[in-house]
Amino acid sequence: MAEKGKTEKEKTNVMRILDNKKIKYESFCYAETGETNGEKVAAILGENPDCVFKTLVTVGKTGANYVFVIPVNKELDLKKAAKAVGEKSIEMIKAKELLPLTGYIHGGCSPIGMKKFFKTTVHATAKEYESIFFSAGKVGYQINMTCNDLEKVIRLQYADVVV
């Protein structure tokens, strides 16, 4: 079971952003496991994988980047995702492009606190849960917060974007 991380040295940039905006969240640390597989992270947290989300970064045919936040046990449907953001097509960015583009590494990418804001789409099922889990911006750290509070931090839309 993951432990709630509350000490200052365990704060990630995402947590500092939320603290500065006085947004309520819970943080969880499982860094000692080194786990990045979303379904295994959900198991470590003792949570339903449907309410634990991963953050994916894509590029559209126009060259614009888009962020999709989907349940860890689902796959992004590229056609549905492209339609949701008004692109003819989109594809996942290459792993080596993630850090320079977002400031995050694979397994620690969060929709909050990227170097630049990208149009963000959260899978529609997120609204079915009281709160959702997603990366706190560092491998081994998750935060749990309501979608309403997430909307206070970043602009987002909801759409059905999974297979």
Phi, psi of 155 (to 5 degrees): -80, 135
Q: Range with the lowest mean pLDDT among 3-7, 85-89, 92-96, 115-119?
A: 3-7
What is the model's pTM? 0.93
For the chain, how many structural domains are there in total?
1
Distance between CA 75 and CA 108 in Å, rounded? 18
Strands in the chain per DSSP E:
3-4, 26-29, 53-60, 65-71, 90-92, 119-123, 132-135, 141-145, 156-159
Model confidence over 29-72: pLDDT tens digits? Answer: 999 998 999 999 999 999 999 999 999 999 999 999 999 999 99
> Is residue 52 helix, strand or coil?
strand
- Whether residue 134 is predicted with pLDDT greater than 50 in this model: the reply is yes
Please answer whether residues 29 and 137 qualify as being in contact, where contact means their C-beta atoms are separated by less than 8 angstroms.
no
Question: What CATH number is associated with residue 9?
Answer: 3.90.960.10
pLDDT, mean over the chain = 94
Please answer whether residues 153 and 114 qualify as being in contact, where contact means their C-beta atoms are separated by less than 8 angstroms.
no
Please answer whether residues 159 and 86 qualify as being in contact, where contact means their C-beta atoms are separated by less than 8 angstroms.
no
**Residue-number span of the structural domain to which 72 is assigned:** 3-159
10 pLDDT band, cuts 50/70/90, is confident
Model confidence over 78-99: pLDDT tens digits? Answer: 999 999 999 999 999 999 999 9
